Amino acid sequence: MTVYIALLRGINVGGNNKVKMAELKSACEELGLRDVRTYIQSGNIVFRSERSESELRELLEELLRGGFGVKKSVVLLRTNAELQRILSDCPFTQAQIEAASQLYVHMLDKPLDEEQAARIGELAAEGEQCVVRGRELYLLLTPGILDSVFAILFQKMKLPLTARNWNTMNKLGELAAQAEV
């Protein structure tokens, strides 16, 4: 069985698309997912399954629509191996991370195409650094995310992505590693 991390976009944000994690955990178990654990209210699920990523995405998106009434759901999945690679391949040093105010990892469903990568690559913003690696965008910020030029661009590009801060990514990495045992 593969350990997966499901990252749900747009739930429990600003009072919209409310999903209680205990109910989500139970619903995932009813779908046959094993060793299900949720982490914080932003929609992070660690579980084990023999199904493929595409099957799981479809299954979880249908669960959110049908079981919880979430109209526009985006479910992004990573295996434990992928998550551990994301953590170890961070392009920023510990000193850079500590000097910044925030580090986010934006996860995509597929790598950017050439045009999208070029748009991001052409952008420069004081106090912000963005590095594209596969299906992840690492965004290091000195100002907050609300003022981020890159975050605004990501919204305008309507990319199917979801972001997690570095602390959350590390905690998910711990939970996923524990699930491997």
| C-alpha closest to that of 146 among 11, 41, 14, 39 | 14
Question: 3-state SS string over 10-49?
Answer: CCCECCECCCCHHHHHHHHHHCCCEEEEEECCCCEEEEEE
State residue 18's pLDDT score: 83
Set out the domains of the chain in order of their start, with CATH numbers. 2-83+173-179 (3.30.70.1280), 85-166 (3.30.70)
Q: Is the pTM of this model over 0.85?
A: yes
pLDDT 10s digits, 24-55: 999 999 999 999 999 998 889 999 999 999 99
Per-residue pLDDT of the chain (181 residues; tens, 9 = 90+): 999 999 998 786 666 778 899 999 999 999 999 999 999 988 899 999 999 999 999 999 999 999 898 887 789 999 999 999 999 999 999 999 999 999 999 999 999 999 999 999 899 889 999 999 999 999 999 878 888 999 999 989 999 899 999 999 999 999 999 998 7
